[in-house]
Amino acid sequence: MKVSTVKISLCFFLFSLAMNVRGQEQNRPNILIIMTDQQTADAMSNAGNKDLHTPAMDKLAANGVRFSKAYCAQPLCTPSRTAIFSGKMPYETGFTGNAPEKDGQWPDSLLMMGKIFQDGGYKTGYVGKWHLPVPTTKVNQHGFGFIQNTNFLDYNDAGTPAYCARFIKENKDNPFLLVASFLNPHDICEWARGESLKMDVLEDAPPPHECPALPANWRKPAHEPEIIREQQKVSFRTYPTVDWTENQWRQYRWAYNRLVEKVDNYIEMVLASLKKYGVEKNTIIIFTADHGDGYAAHSWNQKQVLYEESVKVPFIISRIGQWQPRVDDMLVCNGTDILPTICGFAGIKKPAALKGVDIGMKIVNPSKNLRDTLVVETDFADNDQLLGISGRAVITKDFKYIVYSKGIVREQLFNLNTDPGETINLAVNTQYKKKLTDIRRYLKNWCKANGDGFISGL
């Protein structure tokens, strides 16, 4: 064979190999994580809520699996976000209260999502609210090569949808991981205390009789741990709702719904960019929130408590035009499960220390049982100042047990099947003594096995 022929054959082989590798790279799915802030699980029309309309979220549910029993790791911004981006619970990371964006806090041993995917060959981007205890400038640590903290702007030419569109356009020929982190409906905090909103402007609330009806569980429940209401006394700015009337709570629900609708509109803009740049079919979308909101249930605004409205979050995994709609009641923790799940989708080896589950296995095999009990946590804080009261919730298919570290009354036990609003505390019912003993023992053993130092004192 002539030398020139050998050169041509070698060049053709290398070209074919390169094209084959490129084809494999293109077949790796893009991952888009859409995260809202302070959105409770029921604040979507696809979840049966008729007081608002969320077509973008509904589109995701119509093209994927909506997990109806998904919870955050801890109902507070920094602890929850830290869990999501490390795959570890707050008691493991040490971030149990809000923390500033400051260098030297995040240990090098704690791998971050962006870094894991960057090392796995993905282009990585993060747009929107950050609120993680590591500076955005520390790209070598968090691994997000394209990062835009939009200073709470979910909208306009310098907002989250616009920067997401730019990232998608620039990386449409490469597998990518993109986080779209929106502020709302967090602006309900400013609305409740009568301050200007960080983002959108809301019109004045209509008269109470034109606002949504309150949920059946809007009143404070009997036999509630007293420590819950004690927390409200720490900061009036956080809890301006202590003496609110029924009418005020109805207007709160109206305002909250409008903020959810606004962020839904911005989510649709991001979805439109996937379609515009031809990557819609090859993108797996995870939609969730960092935590919920009281939403007027139990006369509670904000988060931190372990009631369903505060700790339960939206969780949808979607592939538009590729997957059929389904609702699944598997227990999910977005803080521990997102990272193993997206690693599974991308074919990237997850860090060995992660204890979360790969939910992709449940999507492939709906009958597969990946978890029957979930433990989540809280640590009451006034922003970054811990108040010395922690709690744990043990959630099963039928029951939910809540216990706090201090107080005369510390425990709550609810049958979520017959009492989804958590209004009847079965912990004071002697008929449930055995159930209470068993679940106490479970939590104690779980804490010991998982290195959780929580002590209930019971």
CATH number at residue 195: 3.40.720.10
Q: Residue 383 falls within a domain, yes or no?
A: no
Total number of domains in the chain: 1
Average pLDDT, the chain: 92
State residue 13's pLDDT score: 36
Strand partners, 45: none
Q: Residue 280 falls within a domain, yes or no?
A: yes
pLDDT digits (tens, 9 = 90+) for 331-387: 999 999 999 999 999 999 999 999 999 999 999 999 999 999 999 999 999 888 899
Contact 82, 339 (CB under 8 A): no
Strand partners, 36: 289
Q: What is the extent of the structural domain holding 46?
A: 29-371
Contact 105, 133 (CB under 8 A): yes
Whether residue 23 is predicted with pLDDT greater than 80 in this model: the reply is: no
State mean pLDDT over 10-23: 36
pLDDT digits (tens, 9 = 90+) for 321-339: 999 999 999 999 999 999 9
pLDDT digits (tens, 9 = 90+) for 246-278: 999 999 999 999 999 999 999 999 999 999 999
Q: Residue 392 falls within a domain, yes or no?
A: no
Q: What secondary structure letter does DSSP report for 458?
A: -
pLDDT digits (tens, 9 = 90+) for 400-425: 999 999 999 999 999 999 999 999 99
Binning pLDDT at 50, 70 and 90, where does residue 431 land?
very high
How many angstroms separate the CA atoms of 453 and 148, rounded?
A: 36
- In single-letter form, the type of residue at position 68 comes to S
Q: Residue 98 falls within a domain, yes or no?
A: yes
Binning pLDDT at 50, 70 and 90, where does residue 2 land?
very low
Model confidence, pTM = 0.93
Task: Calculate what percentage of the chain has a pLDDT beyond 70.
Answer: 94
Whether residue 9 is predicted with pLDDT greater than 60 in this model: the reply is: no
* DSSP-assigned letters across all residues of 85-112: HHSS-HHHHS--S---S-TT-S-TTS--
How many angstroms separate the CA atoms of 217 and 404, rounded?
A: 21
Least confident residue range of 14-23, 93-102, 123-132, 280-289: 14-23
Whether residue 7 is predicted with pLDDT greater than 70 in this model: the reply is: no
Q: Residue 442 falls within a domain, yes or no?
A: no
Q: Residue 1 falls within a domain, yes or no?
A: no
State residue 26's pLDDT score: 52
* DSSP-assigned letters across all residues of 348-404: -PPPTT-----THHHHH-TT----SEEEEEEEEEETTEEEEEEEEEEEESSEEEEEE
Binning pLDDT at 50, 70 and 90, where does residue 112 land?
very high
State residue 383's pLDDT score: 82
Q: Residue 364 falls within a domain, yes or no?
A: yes
State mean pLDDT over 123-134: 95
Task: Tell how far CA 348 is from the center of its chain.
Answer: 22
How many CA atoms does the CB half-sphere of 268 hold within 13 Å?
A: 13
Contact 322, 63 (CB under 8 A): yes
Angle at 281 between CA 279 and CA 282, to 5 degrees: 65
Q: Residue 389 falls within a domain, yes or no?
A: no
Task: For residue 72, give both structure tokens.
Answer: 């955050």
